[in-house]
Structure 1
Amino acid sequence: MITRIVNKIKKVTSHAVQGFEDRTREVKEKVLSIAKLLRRRTRESWDELNAITEEVARVTGEVCQKATEVVNKLNDQANHSVKGWKQKLSDTIEQMGKIIDQAKEVVSCRRSGSLTVLFSPSFT
């Protein structure tokens, strides 16, 4: 989701997105490996699942840091459309931060209750 927004910003002002790397494929491969692990349902698979979840959280955190750099580079932009994308990117970064924190809590077994879903109506 962050990458899509950054790509739209890139169409308007490419200088702001320098250094941003698309890591969608990397995260997608990790998520697909989680699906394979869940089929096994052994204790070993849960340990592997936690390791993969931590890796996805780490990569997503790095993407959020790079996206924050993009937002900071956009501070001097007066273009109205860029301001809209900047706000949407900032909101998405904040949402991803919450999801990353929740994923870390789940892995460390400190989380009970429901998780926030990115596409939840209460999150928009």
Structure 2
Amino acid sequence: MTNSRNVYGKPLKTCCTSPMTGFYRSGCCDTGLEDRGLHTVCAQVTEEFLLYSKKQGNDLITPVSMFNFPGLKAGDKWCLCVSRWVEALKAGFAPPIILEATHEKTLEFVPLEILQEYSID
């Protein structure tokens, strides 16, 4: 995981540590064999995205103490599954993203040009 790269081919930067994000809860949108959801997109979630995701069955708003999940609010940064981000993109609810903290694996699903349109780097 220490050699992970972002979509620019440079070392992957931290997405967020408060709340602690990432499949491995390392603060980075790193991925590996265990990460079947590919939590590779570092997004700054919006209210619209959070409500959309909840309607799709993935409630990121409600805290879940059993998993030490505080619940997200608009403005929080979070490592999203690339498939959820693409789904939100097609529906018109894709949140902005931080490309320096978005894992290069994302490029297998979304061209860099599209990612750059949503970049807040």
TM-score (norm 1): 0.25
TM-score (norm 2): 0.25
The structure with the largest strand share of the pair is 2
The structure with the largest helix share of the pair is 1
Q: Answer with 1 or 2: which has the greater Rg.
A: 1
